[in-house]
Amino acid sequence: MAGEAVAAAALVKTADERITQCLAEGRSFVLDAGAGAGKTYSLVEGIKKLCAPPVAGRLRRDGQQIACITYTNVAKDQVIERIQGNSLVRVSTIHDFLWSTLQPHQQALRQALLEFNAALPVESSRRVDQAELEARVAAQFEVKYSDRGSKFLEGRIYHDDLLSIARIAYDRYDKLSRIVASRYPFIFIDEYQDTSEAVIDVLLRRMLPLAGNSLVLGFFGDKMQNIYHHGEHKGIGELPAELAAPLEVIVKRENRRCSLRVMDVLNKIRTDITQIPGNNNAQGDVAYIRVAAGADEAGLQRARDLLAATLNWDLASPGTRELYLTHRLIARKAGFAALLQAFTDRGAFAKDALTDGSDRRIAFFLDKVEPLALAWEKGLIGETLGRLHGAGHRLPSRAAKSEVREALNTLMTKCAAGTVREVLESIRDSQLFPLTDELALRLSNTQPIFTADMDDATKEREQKDATLYAALFGLPYQQVAAFARFYMTNTPFSTKHGVKGDEFDTVLVVLDDAGAAWNFYSFDKYLSGADEAANPGRAKRSRNVFYVCCSRARYRLAVIDLTSASAPKAERMRLLFGADRCYEV
């Protein structure tokens, strides 16, 4: 009876109350919460509980901190602001946190680098001669973390290298896990679904078992919102069952963002969490519109006209946002058609990586060039100085300030009227911030770089890469700027480089698979059910992106379908939206 009473009491506890209980009792947990549930609120409230007596006093006495690991710098800044910069909490990105734990342990780093290099494929551009690297390690060179690229013989490791090397180091040296746990007895992981398998391994396979009761891990996220699938260290999505076994599972079902009609659609897209209203949610409205003919701008406009004239939606409101899941239809109108074509010519994988912003070349502009240029253009001096300081500029004298001002003005001129090459050369020559090694190399030599040990397949890839770089460098920079504007406002992937949890009063999700040789997504095949058996991985990825788009809507959601018609898809849309909310134009 007593056990049943405890179980009944647990059922009525809110998710935030259960988090508080886990923290008080020293139990690690995972919070799963759908869109609009307030995951960040729960994370911040958990931190605040630890920053209050009696825990705060114990942490200060023992020289310890709470660690909060975020997926992006923007998310890091949001958490810091919400906790008012409390010194008891170290908020950092995944890479910065791991590097801070490894950098003091140079011998462990050197040995892990040796093992990592030996395991790289022979054709990898990062791999160096093992004997040469062993000689450098024997000389006890310093391993450094750099955003310029990998140069192992100089001790330089890059973003993806760091995660792999951390996994090796923590696997080899038990002491590292114990040191971290003694310094950070509480570690919160924001957006766990976007955390790589290597990092999850470090946390759950090494740290938690080795630290025992001296460490509490808290994972916050939603496996359905895992939408970053490219790169060496893509997001894990769902925590592996065997590693998640020690974690208490907490589900937060409330949705404080979406209207009741939108929430009903979301609850039919996913079955693992059934959301409930959490904040006097409005009734709202939804619509599915299939464009029967003319899957182009004219067809899209017919759908807009139906929403405005028949359903009386105000599409002119600043709270309205169109989200495009492919770029074919919008690229020419938005001004980046030539950029899209250059990546399309490289192949489907390159085009997909451009689409979600994970391509290393385009990410440099999204993360470095455009934010600095926009900050200077808008007169945001504080943000401009912050980015310059992050690049190593200290500006100690009036002359130094004048030099940087001139460099920024030159950059703006090149961005407005120059080519991509001219923009990169301006950055390089003025030393505003370092180019990646790859960009610097390709800038000086756009010819294919062949080596004696390359096989035919590797040579073919190198030729295609060289062709892409030549095309990219020759484009007007405004093609890149136009893509950046589109990416940050009209795609679901912008949280990787911008604000997470964006929401809008009215969302129009535009589906257009025409002409797309997609490896990673097919919304037509997902919605028709064709991929469920034929390509379940692609179906899952497509579902996640579709869910993220639909869940941005506060009041009104329309899905405008420019893909081909099919009876199974029509039936699915009637199920999702209701027969009375399905239209054809």
Tell me the average pLDDT across 442-461: 85
Q: What is the pLDDT of residue 1?
A: 40
Instruction: Give kind and range of the element (H or E) at residue 29.
Output: strand 29-33
Lowest mean pLDDT among 44-53, 81-90, 97-106, 285-294: 285-294
Residue 8 has pLDDT above 90, yes or no: no
Q: Residue 194 in contact with residue 161, Cβ under 8 Å? A: no
Q: Do domains 15-100+173-252 and 260-325+492-584 have the same CATH topology?
A: yes
Strand, coil or helix: 77: helix
Q: Residue 331 in contact with residue 337, Cβ under 8 Å? A: yes
Tell me the average pLDDT across 45-58: 97
pLDDT digits over 496-529, tens only?
444 445 789 999 999 887 645 456 778 889 999 9
Give the residue among 163, 177, 5, 178 at the shortest CA–CA distance from 99. 163
Q: What is the pLDDT of residue 298?
A: 87
pLDDT digits over 388-426, tens only?
887 778 788 888 889 999 999 999 999 999 999 999 999
Query: How does DSSP assign 217-264, residue by residue?
Result: EEEEE-GGG-----STT-B--S--HHHHTTSEEEEE-EESSS-HHHHH
Residue 480 has pLDDT above 50, yes or no: yes
Give the residue among 54, 57, 53, 83 at the shortest CA–CA distance from 67. 83
Lowest mean pLDDT among 16-30, 283-297, 529-543: 283-297
- Grade residue 294 by pLDDT with cuts at 50, 70 and 90: low
pLDDT digits over 85-115, tens only?
999 999 999 999 999 999 999 999 999 999 9
Residue 70 has pLDDT above 70, yes or no: yes
- Which sequence spans correspond to the domains of the chain? 15-100+173-252, 106-162, 260-325+492-584, 360-486
| pTM score | 0.86
Residue 42 has pLDDT above 90, yes or no: yes
pLDDT above 90 as % of the chain: 68
CATH superfamily of 15-100+173-252: P-loop containing nucleotide triphosphate hydrolases (3.40.50.300)
The answer as to CATH 3.30.70 being correct for domain 260-325+492-584 is: no
Tell me the average pLDDT across 479-491: 87
Residue 4 has pLDDT above 60, yes or no: no
Of residues 487 and 205, more confidence is placed in 205
Lowest mean pLDDT among 139-153, 186-200, 447-461, 496-510: 496-510
Residue 491 has pLDDT above 80, yes or no: no
When the pLDDT of each residue in the chain is averaged and rounded to a whole number, the result is: 90
Residue 194 has pLDDT above 50, yes or no: yes
Q: What is the pLDDT of residue 517?
A: 45
Residue 495 has pLDDT above 80, yes or no: no
Classify the phi-psi angles of 149: left when phi > 0, otherwise alpha if psi is within -120 to 50, otherwise beta.
left
Residue 523 and residue 187: Cα distance in Å, rounded? 37
Q: Residue 57 in contact with residue 289, Cβ under 8 Å? A: no
Q: Residue 288 in contact with residue 512, Cβ under 8 Å? A: no
